[in-house]
Amino acid sequence: MMLIVVLAGLACEREQRQFGSTPPSAEIVQIVTLSELQPGSPPQAPPLKNPYEASAYAISEGKRLYSWFNCIGCHFHGGGSIGPALMDDQWIYGSDPANIFATIVEGRPNGMPSFAV
């Protein structure tokens, strides 16, 4: 009789349980943003670093393209003429590299042409 009880106990499979895992209903759900309007202040994007700032070749190419595309005609040599001065610290559309890129590529109303390809 004892042999039957031991064999029956060995023949039973025990249920495997994981006690440390989170249940499926408690997993983090990706929230889909349906609108730009969100409560609280908007998150600040990290400032972009200009990768060409420390490159002498990139700076000389920028100077060459500034002359080539006749930016001197409106902005003179950064001091302003028909277009705004580029050497002051107050820029209408911002002085971050992303803002400058957008201004050059997309253009701006009332004078700045688009240089998009």
Check if the beta carbon of residue 60 is closer than 8 Å to that of residue 107: no
Distance CA 113, CA 106 (A): 8
Model pLDDT, residue 17: 65
Model pLDDT, residue 25: 54
Distances (CA, A) of 50 to 54, 78, 86, 97, 101: 8, 19, 17, 6, 11
pLDDT tens for each residue of 38-90: 777 777 777 777 777 888 898 899 889 888 988 888 888 777 778 888 888 77
Model pLDDT, residue 29: 53
Q: How confident is the model at residue 3 (pLDDT cuts 50, 70, 90)?
A: confident
Q: How confident is the model at residue 115 (pLDDT cuts 50, 70, 90)?
A: confident
C-alpha neighbours within 13 Å on the C-beta side of residue 58: 6
Distance CA 108, CA 92 (A): 10
Residues with Cβ within 8 Å of 28's Cβ and at least 6 positions away in sequence, in order, are none
Q: SS3 string of 75-115?
A: HCCCCCCCCCCCCCCCCCCCCCHHHHHHHHHHCCCCCCCCC
Model pLDDT, residue 6: 75
Distance CA 114, CA 105 (A): 5
Q: Report pTM.
A: 0.53
pLDDT tens for each residue of 7-44: 777 777 766 766 666 655 555 555 566 667 777 777 77
